[in-house]
Amino acid sequence: MLDFFQNTALFAVLLFLNSSSSETENFEYCVYDDEVFQQNCHPDPNFTYSTDPEYLDSFPEIKIRVHLWGFNQDDGSSEDKLTEDKIHESLKLLNSAFKNMKVCFELDGFDLINDSELYWTNYYKFGNKIRSGDFTRDNALNIYIPYKFTNNNDKLRGGKMSNNRMTVNMLNYNTGILVHEVGHIFGLMHTHSGYTSQHCERVTRDENDPNYNAKCAGDRVTDTNAMPKLYGKFHKINENCEYIGDATDCEGTPYTLEKSDIQNFMAYTQHSCRAVFTTGQKIRAREYIANQKPLQEMIMK
Ligand SMILES: [Zn+2]
């Protein structure tokens, strides 16, 4: 059994307690539709599972068209307006984070919408209203940045809404959460996916070990280690973003986490640690982009 929401609504709605500041409870949600976990390992033929930097180098540089959407209240006011400076900061962060994936982002344009409901509402109502209105630019990655979502005491930070739509709240227009959600758009899964399941990703990286399942469990990337969700366990991460805990996988094997696992953009980790995509993740993302028509349409020719 995974988490409650995944079983009931097919959404991996994951919740964590940020204990980095001991007095304040700081919850994070990321809404992402995880895959069904495979009991028997059948690697997906659409992916090579390569971790070879030379193969990554063989991909051409691509430029993704991005359209940003900001939301004010009906009267045009906002507690935290999406300005042109902030938009450029978002683009700069994405271009820095995805540089080594050979993906860059170019602003197609932005719109500021005066609508008090879209400004601050429930994540699902927001998504429905966006989908039913004229709020999508075809052939672009649409990033919606409302003030807040009312879910979970306003602490929901963002999510992937469809192949070409994603959202983060205004608190995260320039944080690792923005990069994390674009990672989902590029087909990357959470590095801890299914860690509580009986088909959890096993620690071993020896392909001859009968327990080896890195190609069909967890995030299906072999150079990210099997790992748990670390929200609520930030005392297991030291100030250098290194893991100092002793948790085990679902078979009782202690996790062997490296700094790059704790720093991974797709991990549920300390906010300030997020800085890394592995070569395996970069390759998987590039292979995903190559096979997905909606993503191909975002690429500037
Ligand atoms: Zn996520």
Domain positions in the chain are: 55-187
Distances in Å between the Cα of 210 and the Cα atoms of 47, 65, 191, 198, 283 are 21, 44, 21, 15, 25
For residue 31, how far is its CA from the centre of ligand 1 (angstroms)? 6
For residue 35, how far is its CA from the centre of ligand 1 (angstroms)? 13
Crossing angle of helices 176-185 and 84-97, rounded to 10°? 60
Residue among 188, 201, 259, 258 at smallest CA distance from 228? 201
Query: How many CB atoms neighbour CB 128 within 10 A?
Result: 12
How far, in Å, CA of 176 to CA of 207, rounded?
A: 32
pLDDT digits (tens, 9 = 90+) for 169-220: 999 999 999 999 999 999 999 999 999 988 899 999 999 998 999 999 999 9
Kind plus residue range of the DSSP H or E element containing 189? none
The residue with greater pLDDT, 29 or 126, is 126
Evaluate if residue 4 carries a pLDDT over 50.
no
Distance of CA 206 to the CA centre of its chain: 27
CB 3 within 8 A of CB 14: yes
For residue 240, how far is its CA from the centre of ligand 1 (angstroms)? 23
What pLDDT is attached to residue 41? 80
Residue with tokens 């996988």: 249
Phi and psi at residue 190, in whole multiples of 5°? -60, 140
Which regions of the chain does DSSP assign to beta strands (E)?
12-17, 27-32, 62-72, 103-114, 120-121, 141-145, 148-149, 156-162, 165-168
What pLDDT is attached to residue 14? 34
Specify the CATH class of 55-187 in words: alpha beta
Helix/strand/coil (H, E, C) string of 125-156? HHHHHHHHCCCCCCCCEEEEECCEECHHHHCE
User: Please, what sign has the CA dihedral across residues 53, 99, 157, 234?
Assistant: positive
For residue 162, how far is its CA from the centre of ligand 1 (angstroms)? 13
Residue with tokens 């995030």: 219
For residue 16, how far is its CA from the centre of ligand 1 (angstroms)? 12
Residue with tokens 């170019």: 106
185 CB contacts (<8 Å, ≥6 apart)?
Answer: 141, 160, 163, 164, 166, 295
For residue 33, how far is its CA from the centre of ligand 1 (angstroms)? 9
What pLDDT is attached to residue 242? 94
Evaluate if residue 117 carries a pLDDT over 90.
yes
Q: What is the mean pLDDT of residues 41-69?
A: 96
Kind plus residue range of the DSSP H or E element containing 43? none
For residue 158, how far is its CA from the centre of ligand 1 (angstroms)? 8
For residue 75, how far is its CA from the centre of ligand 1 (angstroms)? 33
pLDDT digits (tens, 9 = 90+) for 244-257: 999 999 999 999 99
- Residue 112 is classified by DSSP as E
CB 78 within 8 A of CB 72: yes
The C-alpha R_g of the chain, in whole angstroms, comes to 19
For residue 172, how far is its CA from the centre of ligand 1 (angstroms)? 13
Q: Is 120 helix (H, G, I), strand (E, B) or coil?
A: strand
- Terminal Cα distance for the chain, rounded: 44
pLDDT digits (tens, 9 = 90+) for 154-166: 989 999 999 999 9
For residue 177, how far is its CA from the centre of ligand 1 (angstroms)? 8
Per-residue tokens: 160: 């992937």
